[in-house]
Amino acid sequence: MEMMDTGKGGGKQKKMTVRVDFTPMVDMLMLLITFFMLCTSLSKPSTMELTMPSNDKTQKEDQKNEAKESHSITIYIADGDKIFYGNGKPEYDNANWLKPADWSNTSKGIRYVLQHKQVGDPSTGEAISIPYKDMDIAVKQLNRKKAENPKAYPDSIYQAEIASIKGGMIDGKKVSTMTVIIKPTDHASYRHLVDILDEMQISYIGTYVIDKLTDQDKALLAKKGIKA
Amino acid sequence: MGKVKVKKNDTFIDMTPMSDVMTLLLTFFMLTSTFVKNEPVKVNTPGSVSETKVPENGVLTILVSPEKGPTGKPTGEGQVFMSYDNTNELGQIVGNMGITLTPAQKKTFVAESTFGTPLDKLAAYLSKPAAERSKELPKMGIPLDSIQGQEMTEFQQWVNAARQVNPKVRLAIKSDADSPYGTVKKVMSELQDMDESHYYMITQLDAKKAAQAANK
């Protein structure tokens, strides 16, 4: 009301104080913030893309990709934290073919196994190599190039480069890759399925498949005391 | 000494900066957050190093619950629920399922974030009051078993209906970290049977694991 009176009459202009009480506004904002904090989730969930082989029985045998036996590794995920692996062609009558591993980051861990897996067969003249080593060097090189010139490597190009490295193409040369066959038992926890898929990503393995356990696999696991 | 007149204290606190901060916070929350969906079962997704985000729209989320037995151990008989993010298309999906719903029932169905009742019980379920519905839903689930004389299981019928409405529908499996692979396998093999072999697995970013992997 004060300001109304002083405005007229040409008197000395009084300094006006327009103080608005913000307390109700703050009250309301607090309420709204509380509501948003309680009813929303901040982080969007991440996701993994997975492509399973088709069950289509009409697919011809010759269309299927046969992985070289010396390049493959079979991983069995059992209940609890148990995990086993076997190199190359499954030897169903040899219980020692199945080797135990664990989820740790040590030399007994499955990551160590995957990153030190040798492929190649000297008997056919193919040189022995460790796919992870080749790819690690290539990816590090790519990362360095990206760090030097980030504009030349937007996400789409970077991902495509990573995919081609995983596919075994490094600087236009073909290097050996390995194939991982993942066989989770029914009692394996879903967490470990995700874990093993993570390992594929960490160790730059582009070719892997989640397969069903056959009766032979089950018999083999039974020899190790695993109920599948 | 003169008499000191006690000055009346003015306790007016300026709330403007506070209100500024509040507005800022509010804007932040409004822009960055997404609303929590009301899910019938609590699902704790496993941690992963994957940083890919779930696609924005057209996602049919398949929720696999870790059904636990009396001892608290997973029984392997997990229930399956679904949710779809586009309510318009969801209405069409339920229209394709070959069941008759009254307009009121359909409205309830579309308004619910997650569905997962056997088809024959759906109409009766939707007529119930909301409180009863939220109590009953966790006990149900979409049946995965095939019924005699029917080509597709109910689960496959739902996926198929979604595929008809939106041919580009993407499937996301959201399963609990502790649920046994056997349950997830059942869902996956049903999807494989209908030639749906590409899907997303919902995880949450595990920063510790990612850092460990980066150091190697």
Q: What is the mean pLDDT of residues A16-40?
A: 86
Percentage of residues in chain A having pLDDT higher than 90: 3
Higher pLDDT, B24 or A127: B24
- Binary contact (B29, A36; C-beta < 8 A): yes
Number of domains in chain B: 1
**Is B18 near chain A, with CB under 8 Å?**
yes
Structure confidence at residue B69 (pLDDT)? 57
pTM of the model: 0.77
Residues of A with CB below 8 A from B46's CB? 190-191, 194-195
Contact, B85 vs B162, CB < 8 A?
A: no
- Kindly state whether residue B158 falls inside one of the protein's structural domains: yes
Q: Which amino acid is at B1?
A: M
CA-wise closest residue to A39 among B110, B207, B175, B113: B113
Give the residue from chain B lying closest to A32, CA to CA: B26
Least confident span in A5-19, A81-95, B164-178:
A5-19
- Binary contact (B48, A197; C-beta < 8 A): yes
Q: Provide DSSP, B114-128.
A: -B---HHHHHHHHHS
Contact, B146 vs B153, CB < 8 A?
A: yes
**Is B26 near chain A, with CB under 8 Å?**
yes
pLDDT confidence tier of residue A225, bands split at 50, 70 and 90: confident
Contact, B173 vs B184, CB < 8 A?
A: yes
pLDDT of A49 strictly over 80: yes
Contact, A152 vs A93, CB < 8 A?
A: no
Structure confidence at residue B152 (pLDDT)? 80
pLDDT, chain A, mean:
79
Where chain B has pLDDT below 50, the residues are none
pLDDT of A23 strictly over 70: yes
Structure confidence at residue B73 (pLDDT)? 55
Contact, A77 vs A192, CB < 8 A?
A: yes
Nearest to A39 among B26, B36, B64 (CB): B36
- Kindly state whether residue B5 falls inside one of the protein's structural domains: no
Question: Residue A180 contacts by C-beta under 8 Å, 6 or more apart in sequence?
Answer: A72, A73, A74, A75, A114, A200, A205, A207, A208, A209
Q: Residue A211 region, left (φ>0) first, then alpha (ψ -120 to 50), else beta?
A: beta
Nearest to A46 among B18, B19, B51 (CB): B51
Residue A16, CB-side half-sphere exposure with 13 Å CA sphere? 11
Structure confidence at residue A161 (pLDDT)? 83
Structure token pair of residue A102: 């664990």
3-state secondary structure of B168: coil
Q: What is the mean pLDDT of residues A202-221?
A: 84
DSSP annotation of B139: G
**Domain around B145:** 56-215
pLDDT of A43 strictly over 60: yes
Size of interface A-B (CB pairs under 8 A): 171
C-alpha separations of B154 from A32, B145, B180, B199 in Å: 42, 8, 22, 19
Continuous segment of H or E residues that includes residue B107:
helix B103-111
Kindly provide the residue ranges of all beta strands, DSSP E only, lying in chain B, ordered along the sequence: 34-35, 47-48, 59-64, 80-84, 170-175, 198-205
- Kindly state whether residue B6 falls inside one of the protein's structural domains: no
Question: Residue A218 contacts by C-beta under 8 Å, 6 or more apart in sequence?
Answer: A228
Q: How many residues does chain B have?
A: 216
Structure confidence at residue B119 (pLDDT)? 83
Q: Which amino acid is at B50?
A: S
pLDDT of A31 strictly over 90: yes
Q: What is the mean pLDDT of residues A124-144?
A: 81
Structure confidence at residue B216 (pLDDT)? 53
